[in-house]
Chain A
Amino acid sequence: MILLACGTQEPFDRLVRAVDAWVAGGGGPVFGQLGRLGPESYRPCHFEWADLLPAAEFEARFAAAPLVIAHAGMGSIIAALAQAKPIVVMPRKASLGEHRNEHQLATAAKFRGRPGVFVADDETGLEAAIAAARAGGGAAGAIAPHASPELIAAVRNFIFERRKSS
């Protein structure tokens, strides 16, 4: 089942509404983790969802999903890259009150075109991005399970600096 992952913080009505419409038109099946919804937040009518899943259940659903649709959050993108799983991302816009700043637009711009990552700029681009993802663009191999050797070394050297000198 496709997993819709909106993060664990603010709701993302624009994406949830678009996925709901896509499922109503025959897409899916989808299960959604929608985040901390407010009383006014949109609740989907055409697929099952939860606000927050226990970590183990979320990870199991992520691992089992053939495709993930998500906000352009790095947690979702890293998890997808680590599992060589195609992911469709749609950035939250602070201008629409969906986040505290516009960093998801920058994330989407940086990861656009990376094998396995399909960017929908907004709800009108969602179906095309899903179609592209399903067309088999997820052929990229999984990334390494850890940070780059350069970053690991920089942090490790910093941690052990004093120990070595004392």
Chain B
Amino acid sequence: MLAVASTGGHWIQLNRLMPAFDGCETHWLTTSADQRAGLEARVAARGEAVAGFHVCTDANRNEKVRILRMTGEIAGILLKVRPEVIVTTGAAPGFVALRLGRLLGARTCWIDSIANAAELSLSGRLAGPHADLFLTQWPDVARPEGPHYRGAVL
């Protein structure tokens, strides 16, 4: 499986899901190479291993050139890893990985950041309808057709 999040709050939330990945061959994708050592230590502490650590360019929706570069990098990583399952907490790299991964046949899970307490993130609104499991971390944001509420990272 492939776990994806941009570095910062999204990555911290993804790491808090780590017990859900126990026993999986888990590849990780983020936007900063210097997250590797900390990740490997946390994974090793669970008696697990990092199957692969991948880095892509970070971008937000206003940075078109960086979005293109990020998309190319993620496409390359997906073609190499060929994940069966993709789990992401956002933001832009998670959106791209989810949409491209779906095209390659992966099952996908979008967990909207706990920062979005009043409404879904833009990337969540765009990615969620394409996810097999579409979650929010706030009961008030949940809808019958998704996103669903199944607890939070806190």
A contact residues vs B (CB 8 Å cutoff): 7-9, 54-56, 59, 73-76, 78-79, 81, 100-104, 106-107, 109-110, 143, 145-156, 158-159, 161-162
Task: Return chain B residues, CB-CB under 8 Å to A104.
Answer: 115
Is B143 part of the binding interface, using a Cβ–Cβ cutoff of 8 Å? no
Task: Return chain B residues, CB-CB under 8 Å to A159.
Answer: 1, 20-21, 24, 85, 87, 109
Top 4 nearest A-B pairs (CB, nearest first) are A150-B151, A75-B9, A151-B151, A148-B151
Beta-carbon contact of A55 and B32 below 8 Å: yes
Task: Return chain A residues, CB-CB under 8 Å to B153.
Answer: 78, 147-148, 151
Partner of B8, one of A8, A151, A153: A8
Majority secondary structure, A binding face: helix
How far does the alpha carbon of A109 sit from the alpha carbon of B138 in the complex, in Å?
13
A149 to chain B, nearest CB (A): 7
User: What's the interface size class on B, roughly?
Assistant: 35 or more
Beta-carbon contact of B61 and A73 below 8 Å: no
Beta-carbon contact of A106 and B16 below 8 Å: no
Task: Please provide the chain B residues from 53 to 82 with a CB less than 8 Å away from any CB of chain A in the complex.
Answer: 60-62
Beta-carbon contact of A154 and B9 below 8 Å: no
Task: Return chain B residues, CB-CB under 8 Å to A8.
Answer: 7-8, 32
Known: A74-B9, A146-B17. A56 touches B151 (CB 8 A): no
Partner of A73, one of B8, B17, B138: B8
A-B CB contact pairs (8 Å), 11 listed: A59-B38, A78-B114, A81-B154, A100-B61, A100-B62, A110-B138, A146-B18, A147-B13, A148-B153, A154-B135, A158-B133
Beta-carbon contact of B121 and A7 below 8 Å: no
Known: A73-B115, A148-B154. A158 touches B107 (CB 8 A): yes
Using CB atoms, name the residue of chain B closest to A155: B20
Using CB atoms, name the residue of chain A closest to B36: A55
Partner of A103, one of B16, B35, B117: B117
Beta-carbon contact of A9 and B117 below 8 Å: no
Known: A106-B118, A147-B17. A155 touches B109 (CB 8 A): yes
